[in-house]
Amino acid sequence: MFLSDNMLALVFLFSAGLVLGLGDAVIALLGRRSARQPVSGDAPASHQAKQGTPTMGGLLLVAVAFVITVAFTLLAALDERQRVRLLAVAGTLLLAGIVGFLDDLGKARRKQNKAGLSERVKLAGQVLVAALFLFVIGQTEQAGITTVVAVFGRNIDFGILYYALGVLYLCGFGNAVNFTDGLDGLAAGTTLITTLSLAVLALLNESAAVTPEVSIFYLSVAGACAGFLWFNAHPARVFMGDTGSLALGMGVAAAAIAAKQETLLLVVGAVYLMEIGSMMIQRYVFKWRRIRRGIEYAKANRVFRRAPLHHHFEELGWPETRVVARFWVMALMAAAVGAALAPLLSPYTVTVVAP
Within 111-144, residue ranges assigned H as helices are: 119-139
Which pLDDT does position 344 carry in this prediction? 87
The long-range contacts involving 304-309, CB below 8 angstroms and separated by at least 24 positions, are 304/278, 306/42, 306/44, 307/278, 307/279, 307/281, 307/282, 307/283, 308/179, 308/180, 308/182, 308/275, 308/276, 308/278, 308/279, 309/274, 309/275, 309/277, 309/278
Structure letter (DSSP) for residue 54: B
- Integer Cα distance of 189 and 320 in angstroms: 14
Given this model, what pLDDT does residue 52 score? Answer: 78
Domain ranges for the chain? 5-146+153-259
pTM, entire model: 0.92
How many Å apart are CA 42 and CA 56, to the nearest integer?
20
Higher pLDDT, 144 or 237: 237
Q: What is the mean pLDDT of residues 168-177?
A: 98
pLDDT of 354 reads: 46
Strand ranges inside the chain, DSSP E: 148-151, 154-157
Q: Over the stretch 315-330, which tens digit does the pLDDT of each residue have?
A: 999 999 999 999 999 9
8-state DSSP, 304: S
- Residue 291 pLDDT greater than 80, yes or no: yes
Give residue 165's pLDDT. Answer: 97
Q: Are 65 and 92 in contact (CB under 8 A)?
A: no
- CA 135 to each of CA 92, 129, 257: distance values in angstroms, whole numbers, following the listed order: 12, 10, 12
Please state, in angstroms and rounded to a whole number, the distance separating the CA atoms of residues 314 and 46.
Answer: 9
The number of residues making up the chain comes to 355
The Cβ-side half-sphere exposure at 278, using a 13 Å CA radius, reads 20
Percent of the chain with pLDDT over 90: 71
